[in-house]
Amino acid sequence: MISGVYNLRSVIYILLIFAIPIFLNIKGYEYNISISILSFTYVCISIIYYSIIRFSILTWRSGIPIFYLYYFIIQPVILNNPKDNNWGLTISDISSAIYLATLGIISFFVGVITTRTNIESMSYKSNIYNILESVNNYKVIFILIIVGGVSNILTLFIGYSAENASATSEAGIVSVVSFFITIGMLSAFSNYYLTGIKKYQKLALLSLFIVVGTGFFQNSKGAILMPILSIAFLKYSIDRKLPYLGITLIFILYIFIVYPIVSSFRYVKQTFLSGIDNIELIKYYINYLISGEWFDFHIGDSSAAINDLDRGLLYYFGVIIRDSGTYIDFMGAQTYYYALVGLIPRFIMPDKPFEAMGNIMAQRYRVISDYDFVTNVSPTYMGEFYGSFGIFGLIFGMFLCGYLANYVDTLIIKRKVNWLLPIMIFAIGWQESIIGQSILPFLKNLITLILFLYLLYITKFIKINFK
C-alpha cells in the first residue's frame, strides 16, 4: 500500500514536469518569465515530493514550499496573468523576483537537509511535553473552552475585532486569551476521534459553535473557515487519511456561503454603517443574515471567490526586490526590533511603539498610504529577509527557516501532540499572509498558552471534579 502511494506521487510528479511547460506555452508567456516560473515550480515540487516521502504533507518542510508555490505561482501566474498586475511591475521585475524566490527556496532546502540529522538525534525528554499533553485532560479542555470562549466573545467589544478597536492592554489580553478556545476545541475533537467518548464530542461541538459563530460576527472569512479546516487536518494527523470529502465541503461552504456573506456585509458596513456602535452593529448583522440579502452577492461566483484569496504577495515581493537598496534603504535589524518589542505585554509597556511589521513595511514601500495605520500587507519571510539585509539576508534567513522547519517537524509535529499539529501548520500562512508580521508574535501567543497550562499543571487545578 505504501509503495503504491509513493508510485502515485511519482506519477503526479512526472506529469507536472511535462504539463507545466505546455501550459506556459499555451498562455503565451515570454521566454524569460517562463524560465523563472519553471525553475521556481520545479524546485518547489521537488522539495515537496522529497518532504512527503520522508515525512508527511502536513509539515513545515513541505508546507512552506507549498505556501510559496501557491501565492507566487498558482494564484498570480496560473489563475491570472502577471502582465495585468496593478503594482507598477514589469515582466522583467516579476521574473527577477521569481528567480530570487527560487534562490530562497533552495536555501531553505539546504537548511533542511544539512540540519536534519542533528535535530532528529535530539532527546524528546522535556517537561514541556508533559505540559502540552496535559491538554488531553477533560477538565483542562473544559477550562480552556470556557476561558477562551468568554474572551472570544469579548473580542467583539474590546478586542482587536471590535469596531474602532485600539491597541490597549485589555484588547491585547482578550485577543491572546481567546486563542485558548481553539486549543480546547482541537483537543476535544482529538480525544473524541481517539476514544469515541461522547463528553468530548459535546465539548468539541460547543467550542466549534462558539468559534465559528463569533467568526461570522467578526466578519472574517479566516475565523469562520480555519477552525473547520483545522479539524480536517487534525483527523488526518490521527488516521493519515486525507479528508477529501471534508475539504470539498469546506470549499463549497466558502464559495456559496462564507464569501458572499463576509464580502457583502463589508460593503454594507463601509457604505451605510460607518460609526455605528458594537451592539447595534451585531443586531443589524443578525437581521442581515436572516434577510438573505447576502445570497445575491457573487453567489456561486467561484472566480471572484478564488481571486479573493490572492493577497498580492508575489507583486509585493517584486516591489521589495526592485526598490530595496535602490530607492529605499535596507531596514537592517529594525524589523526584528519591532517584533521583539511586540513580545512585551502592553500592560508592562503601555507606551510601546506600534509594532505591526506588515503595516510598517507596507508604508515604507508605498504599498499603502502614510496615514493608514491599520492595513497589514505581508512581506513574507523572503520579503522581510531581503528588505532587511539584501540577498545575503534572503539566503541566510531562508536557511534558518529550513532549520526551524526541521525543528518544528521533528520535535513538535512528529511528537504527535495532535491538537498542536493544525496550529503549527496554519502558523505558516497565519504570519505570512494573514497577519503580515514576523513569527515572533505567534510565539508570544504560544508562550502565553504554555504559561497558562503550566499554571494549571503545577497547581493541580485539573484535579477539580466536574460533574
Of 303, 260, 256, which Cα lies nearest the Cα of 75? 303
38-54 pLDDT, tens digit each: 889 889 988 988 888 77
Tell me what pLDDT residue 34 has: 83
Residue 109 half-sphere exposure, CB side, CA atoms within 13 Å? 19
- 130 band by pLDDT with thresholds 50, 70 and 90: low
Q: Which three cell numbers stand for residue 39?
A: 525553475
Mean pLDDT of 391-400: 93
Bridge partner list, 328: 324
Tell me what pLDDT residue 58 has: 80
CB 247 within 8 A of CB 254: no
Choice between 14 and 325, residue whose per-residue pLDDT is larger: 325
295-324 pLDDT, tens digit each: 666 555 566 666 667 778 899 999 999 999
- 2 band by pLDDT with thresholds 50, 70 and 90: very low
- 108 band by pLDDT with thresholds 50, 70 and 90: very high
Tell me what pLDDT residue 40 has: 93
Give, in degrees to the nearest 5, the angle at Cα 43 between 37 and 48. Answer: 120
Tell me what pLDDT residue 214 has: 87
* Per-position DSSP letters for 137-163, written without gaps between them: SHHHHHHHHHHHHHHHHHTTTTSTTST
Choice between 453 and 381, residue whose per-residue pLDDT is larger: 381
- Is the per-residue pLDDT at 198 higher than 80? yes
Of 352, 289, 317, 294, which Cα lies nearest the Cα of 89? 317
Q: Which three cell numbers stand for residue 382?
A: 523572503
Mean pLDDT of 385-394: 92
**CA–CA separation, 428 and 442 (whole Å):** 10
- Is the per-residue pLDDT at 294 higher than 60? yes
Tell me what pLDDT residue 466 has: 46
Q: Which three cell numbers stand for residue 3?
A: 509503495
Choice between 218 and 4, residue whose per-residue pLDDT is larger: 218
- 33 band by pLDDT with thresholds 50, 70 and 90: confident
Task: Give Dmax (Cα) for the chain.
Answer: 69
Work out the number of other CB atoms within 10 angstroms of the CB of residue 309.
14
Question: Whole-model pTM?
Answer: 0.80
Q: Which three cell numbers stand for residue 279?
A: 451592539
Q: Which three cell numbers stand for residue 277?
A: 456602535
Tell me what pLDDT residue 467 has: 45
151-181 pLDDT, tens digit each: 888 887 775 554 554 555 566 677 777 888 8
CB 379 within 8 A of CB 387: yes
Mean pLDDT of 75-98: 85
**CA–CA separation, 461 and 158 (whole Å):** 28
**CA–CA separation, 329 and 206 (whole Å):** 51
Mean pLDDT of 140-159: 84
Q: Taking all residues of the chain, what is their mean pLDDT, rounded to a whole number?
A: 76
DSSP 70: I
235-276 pLDDT, tens digit each: 887 877 777 777 788 888 888 888 888 877 777 766 666 666
**CA–CA separation, 302 and 285 (whole Å):** 24
- Is the per-residue pLDDT at 89 higher than 50? yes
Residues in the chain: 467
**CA–CA separation, 42 and 370 (whole Å):** 39
**CA–CA separation, 399 and 220 (whole Å):** 34
**CA–CA separation, 298 and 28 (whole Å):** 30
CB 200 within 8 A of CB 171: no
- 139 band by pLDDT with thresholds 50, 70 and 90: confident
Tell me what pLDDT residue 270 has: 66
Tell me what pLDDT residue 299 has: 53
Tell me what pLDDT residue 95 has: 92
Q: Which three cell numbers stand for residue 246?
A: 471534508
Contacts of 43 (CB under 8 A, 6+ apart): 65, 102, 105, 106, 109
- Is the per-residue pLDDT at 382 higher than 50? yes
- 428 band by pLDDT with thresholds 50, 70 and 90: confident
- 392 band by pLDDT with thresholds 50, 70 and 90: very high
Residue 365 half-sphere exposure, CB side, CA atoms within 13 Å? 31
Of 78, 75, 10, 76, which Cα lies nearest the Cα of 45? 10
Phi, psi of 324 (to 5 degrees): -65, 130
**CA–CA separation, 227 and 207 (whole Å):** 10
CA dihedral (145, 149, 446, 253) positive or negative: positive
Choice between 120 and 209, residue whose per-residue pLDDT is larger: 209
Hey, what amino acid is at 300?
G
CA dihedral (269, 354, 398, 402) positive or negative: negative
**CA–CA separation, 34 and 332 (whole Å):** 33
**Proportion of the chain above pLDDT 90, given as a percent:** 15
Tell me what pLDDT residue 420 has: 76
| Segment among 99-103, 109-113, 335-339, 406-410 with least mean pLDDT | 335-339
**CA–CA separation, 450 and 446 (whole Å):** 6
CB 24 within 8 A of CB 86: no
Bridge partner list, 324: 328
Q: Which three cell numbers stand for residue 68?
A: 510559496
Mean pLDDT of 113-117: 74
Tell me what pLDDT residue 347 has: 62
Contacts of 14 (CB under 8 A, 6+ apart): none
Of 213, 249, 212, which Cα lies nearest the Cα of 227? 212
